[in-house]
Amino acid sequence: MDPKILKYFLLVHDNQDSMLEKATAILTEMRSTFGANNCRLLCINSSADCVEEHQENPWASYNNSASNNKQFGCFLNVDDIGELRNTMHDLSSKHIIPHMELKIRVLNQQVSATRKGFRNQIKNLWWRKGKEDAPENPNGPMYTFSSTESQIRVLGDYAFMLRDYELALSNYRLISTDYKLDKAWKHYAGVQEMMGLAYFMLDQSRKDAEYCMENAFTTYLKIGSSRNATRCGIWWAEMLKARDQFKDAAGVYFRISGEEPLHSAVMLEQASYCFLLSTPTMLRKYGFHLVLSGDLYKKCDQIKHAIRTYKSALSVFKGSAWNHIRDHVHFHIGKWYAFLGMFDEAIKHVLEVLACGHQSKATQELFLRDFFQIIQETGKTFEVLTLQLPMINFPSTKVVFEDHRTYASPAASSVRESLWQSLEEDMVPALSVMKTNWLESQSKMLPRKYKESNVCVAGEPIKVDVSFRNPLQIPISISNVSLVCKHSTEYHEAESDANGSLMDHQSDEELRTVSMSGDFSLDTSLFTLSEVDILMQGGETILVQLTVTPRVEGTLKVVGVRWKLSGSVVGIYNFSSDIIRKGVAKGKRKPKQSVKDNLQFLVIKSLPRLEGVIHNFPRTVYAGDLRRLTLELRNPSKISVKNLKMRISHPRFLNIADKEVMNLEFPNCLRKQTNSSPSGMQVDSAKARNSIFVFPKTTSISCETPLKWPLWLRAAAPGSISLYITIYYEMEDESPVITYRTLRMHYNLEVLPSLEVSFQASPCPSRSQEFLVRMDVINRTSSESFHVHQVSCVGDQWELALLQPLDTVFPLEFLTAGQALSCFLKLKNCRKRGTTEDNISSPATSGKADVRLVGSDSSGLFDTSTSPFNLFHHHERLHQERQNQGYGSTVDFIVISESRSDSDASGVPKTIEVFSHHTCHFRIGSKSPIWWLMDGPRTVRHDFSTAFCEINLRMIVYNSTEYVVSVRINTLDSTPVINSVNVAASVSSNEVGWYDMSHLSEIKVTSDARGTRVGKAPQPENVSPFIWSGSSSTQLNLGPLSSAEVPLQICMFSPGTYDLSNYSLHWNLVSSGVGGDDENGSNVSSGTCLGDSYHITVLQKE
């Protein structure tokens, strides 16, 4: 310590205490003792009674942390303040600075004398070298005040204080090497630090300044003086900050933070602010360092500081996709708030992390446990609007309600609305009829708004399917899941609107109370809610069906869903807020309307609602299975319904039977009755096509008397099929909103393949109206065995007979799985000319059309002319409609098989299942409308020596169509060549200009149906050894279904066998009925047929 410090004595006199005289006396005494120059009197508080008002705190400009709320210096008058200022100025300018200047001068002289100059340098070096061997002092060598090193250091400090940085720097530099050589590390670091500051103040070399600070800092750390290191580091960081090197400053702060947590926390927080200030802003670093510092604050129990830092960090991490970070921050804030007892805030933050599916199971359990702990500590049950556990998948929410559309089963309600609408199209009265008439009172009764909102009936539940998903891996239990609904009995539009808007703007608290009161007051009378308890396993998704049943007329609004998580927290999910936020259109039922309307219902008074069920509807059947089912309709309400109509989507599978069928025994009622009256019932094609079945007028279903009606089911084709049935009915008493209702039923049927039936027919070569039919039956099932019972062909012009008894070909009674059966049948067309009445579709009554394949008697035959065979046959015909090209007649076959269920063991009587297989529009004729037969001798003996041989032939041409056909027979002497252009033109008279090669070739093949005539064209070069004599072309007209004979003559010149195929027949439909029949409209109206091969052998007569 410098013993010769500057001394200055100040006597402060308070004018409030005593008079000035005493003070001047003391001052003279002091002056005599301490010297006249070094003493001074300062008088303060001259003004009396605290009246002096100053504009501002007189020390404000010198003290940057002054608080303005206290009134400073109120006893000082202006003179006092001037006096104070003078005193201080006097002290610094007349005493301190001159003293320092003097000191510098003296020290500088000393230093130059001892250290400056080459001689001194050498001496110093040598002297220090000599000291090297001295024992190492752990604290470095001690320097007394009078030592040269200390003198230089003091000189440097004085110079630094007087802002002579150059001088200061040169001195510091001088001793820093000395200290280094002496290994006086602490002194060295101190000097380095001062050098750094001096460099910084000179602002010449940034690098040097940083180098010095770095040096000082590391040296401090090396000797373990963290206090000095911290000070040095803060200097350094401030230095860097002053130069806008915030990133480096942050690095320095980070280095300062040591072991002690609070110290580190403060430094890390400073570091984070540096990152925030740096350009470009390093927000992520900022957040990270805030979190680090928050952790350290927590470590030393500064929880409020910890929360403060974390909350600042949250501004960076909020909504981040880095989920571990987000969870960490939210969870810790929540935990710390709970620690401080601020549970509301705590819950808000912990809620954010509840749905943490990405975390490990242990973490999820920890989060959940802490959450429930916080909830328990509050001691209340909370209602939370943003509870994410379980998650609700809003787009999959589905509302099912019944207005005029009612559903028999849940499956029916999930069917697309358009499907039902197309099914009900003709049945339901058009909507415009209800609306347009403005005179009608009912339209006035209801505001327009309710036309657009959904309608539901009091007492009938509205079902809402909500899908919950548990995002966690741990099971959670949810109880009391129910809908939140609002019911108002008023019809006033304005009020409900206001209510709705209020709903949207309500804060969380308000909504809590609303929903609570809504539950308790309305639950009893206005509507009832269903409550569900579920336990969700980890990762599970559960579809929960919630229902609300309104009891009273009015409007009902489904607001949201509420549930209780683990019996402690009530979560509420508001549908409408979600709609507004996401704008998800979920209008499943009515896409045109806004979604909000979808959750608003107009409740009308209760109406009858039919319940329908089909008893014993099978899930799986084999193809062809024919069954009788019973439809049962039940009306639980008091009001009866009328005007019942029904429509079935697939009449090919399901059809409506007569009421009488109910009482008959199945399947025996289908068998031919011996004494049956000519049933002759024809399928009303109009009725069948429209397929709306109107129940008799008398049927009205009232309470407790169900209506039973039989239905026929026939599994027409393999595959799965959905059958839709809709039943329309009207109420007895008129309701203003709903005048009719429909009951929609939906059944799924899976049809397995059973028998596969195919036919092949070839015309009898000798007789023109007979055909040989081959029937192939393959059992395609895996286990079932069938009993092929009968084969019938539909239409009374056909006769069917077995070529040989089936027992010889197929001795087994049953066709087991995988087995095939084929048999030959003879089919005869017995229709003669004149029997042209159009009754192809009406099944035969003659009995010759049915053939029993097993057994000999014809008693057990099924009557294919009655319902349901004719009904289903009609639909099969419609279904199997194909492009009707060509003119030969077609025939429809029905194969009926039986299967006896082998249930003998159980004692149940054998039930016979009947299967029918329909093959329609089976073509037996050729493509051309005409038939011909060449008739004549096959072998002729002739003596060629006398003359050439003349043979007379006869051609019988038969017209199988119902139109007049003109036929021209051309005999060709040369090779018959098909003129392809001709054919093309003849094929499509209305498609002139089309010249499609593939089409052409197809026509060639199809016109070649009866043989392979094209392939065996004779060699073109040789002249044929016979000539046609007589006219080369004969033209004739053939009436419908008539035949004609044409004489032909041929001349042979030498013996041999000849093929008389070189003729052709041109046929042309005479346009009597062609244009009128639209079925034949696209048909061929003319064509050419090449001649059949007819071999004739001519021998030389001996």
Beta bridge partner(s), residue 953: 1048
Least gap, CB of 554 to another protein (angstroms): 48
Binding mask 1037-1056 for another protein (x = CB under 8 A): --------------------
Least gap, CB of 320 to another protein (angstroms): 8
When binding is defined by CB under 8 A, the residue of 26, 91, 154, 325 that contacts another protein is 325
Start-end of H helices in 562-611: 575-582, 595-598
Using CB under 8 A as the binding rule, the residues of this chain from 908 to 947 that contact another protein are none
- Regarding 816 and contact with another protein (CB under 8 A), the answer is no
Judge contact between 1014 and 1092, C-beta under 8 A.
Answer: no
Q: What are the CA-CA distances from residue 504 to residues 452, 491, 520, 1080 (Å)?
A: 21, 21, 22, 68
- DSSP codes joined into one string, 435-477: HH-TT-HHHHHS-HHHHHSEEEETTS-EEEEEEEE--SSS-EE
Q: Which of 230, 247, 240 is nearest to 286 (CA)?
A: 247
- Regarding 321 and contact with another protein (CB under 8 A), the answer is yes
Q: Which residue has the tokens 């017995």?
A: 830
d(CA 513, CA 407) in angstroms, rounded, equals 37
Q: Which two tokens stand for residue 33?
A: 């003792």
Q: Which of the stretches 323-331, 621-629, 812-820, 1067-1075 binds another protein when contact is defined by CB under 8 A? A: 323-331
- Regarding 287 and contact with another protein (CB under 8 A), the answer is yes
When binding is defined by CB under 8 A, the residue of 191, 256, 282, 546 that contacts another protein is 282
- Regarding 248 and contact with another protein (CB under 8 A), the answer is no
Least gap, CB of 470 to another protein (angstroms): 20
When binding is defined by CB under 8 A, the residue of 284, 398, 774, 879 that contacts another protein is 284
Q: What are the CA-CA distances from residue 25 to residues 16, 28, 45, 79 (Å)?
A: 17, 5, 19, 22
- Regarding 231 and contact with another protein (CB under 8 A), the answer is no
Give the strand pairing for 692-694 and 641-648.
antiparallel
Question: Cβ closer to another protein: 285 or 647?
Answer: 285
Q: Which of the stretches 109-117, 281-289, 427-435, 522-530 binds another protein when contact is defined by CB under 8 A? A: 281-289
Beta bridge partner(s), residue 881: none
d(CA 806, CA 809) in angstroms, rounded, equals 5
- Regarding 181 and contact with another protein (CB under 8 A), the answer is no
Amino acid, single-letter form, for residue 1074: V
Least gap, CB of 360 to another protein (angstroms): 7
Q: How far is CA 510 from the centre of its chain?
A: 34
Least gap, CB of 285 to another protein (angstroms): 5
- Regarding 327 and contact with another protein (CB under 8 A), the answer is yes
Least gap, CB of 324 to another protein (angstroms): 4
Using CB under 8 A as the binding rule, the residues of this chain from 249 to 268 that contact another protein are none
Using CB under 8 A as the binding rule, the residues of this chain from 377 to 396 that contact another protein are none
Q: How far is CA 589 from the centre of its chain?
A: 17
Question: Cβ closer to another protein: 280 or 583?
Answer: 280
Query: Is 409 in a helix, a strand, or coil?
Result: coil
Angle between helices 261-277 and 283-299 (to 10 degrees): 160
When binding is defined by CB under 8 A, the residue of 59, 322, 948, 1053 that contacts another protein is 322
Q: Which of the stretches 321-329, 816-824, 906-914, 959-967 binds another protein when contact is defined by CB under 8 A? A: 321-329
- Regarding 280 and contact with another protein (CB under 8 A), the answer is yes
- Regarding 328 and contact with another protein (CB under 8 A), the answer is yes
d(CA 345, CA 1035) in angstroms, rounded, equals 107
d(CA 172, CA 166) in angstroms, rounded, equals 10
- DSSP codes joined into one string, 751-785: EE--EEEEEEEEE-SS-TTEEEEEEEEEE--SS--
- Regarding 283 and contact with another protein (CB under 8 A), the answer is yes
d(CA 194, CA 172) in angstroms, rounded, equals 8
Q: Which two tokens stand for residue 807?
A: 């027992």
Judge contact between 624 and 687, C-beta under 8 A.
Answer: no
Question: Cβ closer to another protein: 469 or 647?
Answer: 469
N-terminal to C-terminal alpha carbon distance within the chain: 170
Q: Which of the stretches 204-212, 274-282, 459-467, 600-608 binds another protein when contact is defined by CB under 8 A? A: 274-282
Question: Cβ closer to another protein: 292 or 408?
Answer: 292
Binding mask 191-230 for another protein (x = CB under 8 A): ----------------------------------------
Least gap, CB of 280 to another protein (angstroms): 7
Q: Which of the stretches 45-53, 316-324, 394-402, 737-745 binds another protein when contact is defined by CB under 8 A? A: 316-324
d(CA 641, CA 733) in angstroms, rounded, equals 9
Question: Cβ closer to another protein: 251 or 860?
Answer: 251
Q: Which of the stretches 61-69, 282-290, 432-440, 1081-1089 binds another protein when contact is defined by CB under 8 A? A: 282-290
- Under DSSP, the state recorded for 786 is B
Q: Which of the stretches 58-66, 163-171, 287-295, 614-622 binds another protein when contact is defined by CB under 8 A? A: 287-295
Query: Is 214 in a helix, a strand, or coil?
Result: helix
Least gap, CB of 261 to another protein (angstroms): 16
d(CA 1009, CA 255) in angstroms, rounded, equals 100
Strands (E) across 148-208 are located at none
Q: Which residue has the tokens 């927290």?
A: 569
Beta bridge partner(s), residue 891: 922
Question: Cβ closer to another protein: 361 or 638?
Answer: 361
Question: Cβ closer to another protein: 307 or 1050?
Answer: 307
When binding is defined by CB under 8 A, the residue of 155, 291, 483, 548 that contacts another protein is 291
Using CB under 8 A as the binding rule, the residues of this chain from 352 to 371 that contact another protein are 360, 362-363
Angle at 182 between CA 181 and CA 184, to 5 degrees: 115
- Regarding 285 and contact with another protein (CB under 8 A), the answer is yes
- Regarding 33 and contact with another protein (CB under 8 A), the answer is no
Judge contact between 483 and 544, C-beta under 8 A.
Answer: no
Question: Cβ closer to another protein: 325 or 613?
Answer: 325
d(CA 897, CA 715) in angstroms, rounded, equals 13
- Regarding 275 and contact with another protein (CB under 8 A), the answer is yes
Least gap, CB of 330 to another protein (angstroms): 11
Question: Cβ closer to another protein: 285 or 564?
Answer: 285
Question: Cβ closer to another protein: 363 or 988?
Answer: 363
Q: Length of the chain in residues, anyone?
A: 1102
Least gap, CB of 247 to another protein (angstroms): 9
Q: What is the CA radius of gyration of the chain?
A: 56
- Regarding 315 and contact with another protein (CB under 8 A), the answer is no
Question: Cβ closer to another protein: 121 or 360?
Answer: 360
- DSSP codes joined into one string, 837-852: -S-SSSPP-SSTTEEE
Question: Cβ closer to another protein: 48 or 366?
Answer: 366
d(CA 870, CA 661) in angstroms, rounded, equals 15
Give the strand pairing for 740-752 and 620-622.
parallel
Q: Is omega for the bond preceding 390 within 30 degrees of 0, making it cis?
A: yes
Least gap, CB of 359 to another protein (angstroms): 8
Query: Is 286 in a helix, a strand, or coil?
Result: helix
Least gap, CB of 364 to another protein (angstroms): 12
**How many residues lie near another protein (CB under 8 A)?**
20
Q: Which of the stretches 284-292, 349-357, 506-514, 888-896 binds another protein when contact is defined by CB under 8 A? A: 284-292
Using CB under 8 A as the binding rule, the residues of this chain from 501 to 520 that contact another protein are none
When binding is defined by CB under 8 A, the residue of 163, 299, 324, 444 that contacts another protein is 324
Q: Which two tokens stand for residue 121?
A: 């340098």
Residues that bind another protein (CB under 8 A): 275, 280, 282-285, 287-289, 291, 320-322, 324-325, 327-328, 360, 362-363
